[in-house]
Amino acid sequence: MDIANKIFVVTGGGSGMGRELTIQLVKKGAKVIIADIHQKDMDDTSKIAGIDQVSTHIVDISNREEVTNFASDVIDRYGYIDGLINNAGIIQPFIDIKDLDYGQIEKVMNVNFYGTVNMTKAFLPTLLLRPSAHIMNISSMGGFIPFPGQSIYGASKAAVKLFTEGLYAELLNSNVNVTVVFPGAIDTNIMSNSGVQTKEEMDKTKAEAKFKALPAPKAAASMIDAIEKNKFQIRVGKDAKMMHFLYNLNSRRAINFITKQMAKMKDF
């Protein structure tokens, strides 16, 4: 897909990966419609990317009615969209399933999985009417290999993986291309947005992980390249690529390796 002069909806565009995706889409000549729950963050993204090319909308993607109304408003205003990037997501507290309450479980599933489903269902009818369109869903490295202390997050992202692959299969003979993304460690603020750590804990975690976290601009560039080239799957970051290889080679040993690495995070 040629990005220039296209209209994209990006969820979670107020910060982190969504902000970088918005900035780079605008640089390539697209107009971006942001859906997020933080107005100030969206305003900041809009100022950085270009106010004339970005519109902001407060939307709780886990709320089906809000998403339906948002899609109707977008179509009424613009007539159509050409692309949808389901980027918004949250992680869970770094604790085991036995200690995780149902409210936390439901929140993660509602945002990560049902939010993706809600947005896809709401915008797919108009995407099918375009000469060429694209849906990109962000899964995670945790969507193909388990991370102890993030098991529900991983389950939500595994659901996104299979949902997206099923969508790809159903749309093979249509004009809508589909991509699923498996990012590894990306230098974003997903922990603060998820509310799972104090500032001191986040600073410590970032200091320990920064050397191996891929900068968000590079990750966003890889994702946009995948849209332009209509790629089916991409793994973003050396860690995602390495763990995918190891998991396919010997899943048990790969899981044991990850378990040792996650021991530090679960101590927070």
Find all residues with CB under 8 Å of 202, minimum gap 6, and list them: 191, 192
Q: How distant, in Å, are the alpha carbons of 3, 135, 164, 168, 182 from that of 131?
A: 13, 14, 21, 17, 27
Q: What is the phi/psi pair of residue 126, to 5°?
A: -75, -30
CA angle 168, 170, 173 (to 5 degrees): 90
Cα of first residue to Cα of last residue in the chain, in angstroms, is: 43
- Is 80 catalytic? The answer is no
Sheet holding 31-36, edge to edge: 54-58, 31-36, 7-11, 83-86, 133-138, 176-183, 233-236
Q: At what angle do helices 64-78 and 115-127 cross, to 10 degrees?
A: 30
Contact of 152 with 92, CB cutoff 8 Å: yes
Q: What is the phi/psi pair of residue 186, to 5°?
A: -120, 140
Q: Select which of 78, 102, 153, 168 is catalytic.
A: 153
Contact of 147 with 185, CB cutoff 8 Å: no
Q: How far apart are CA 179 and CA 165, in angstroms?
A: 8
User: Which are the catalytic amino acids?
Assistant: 153
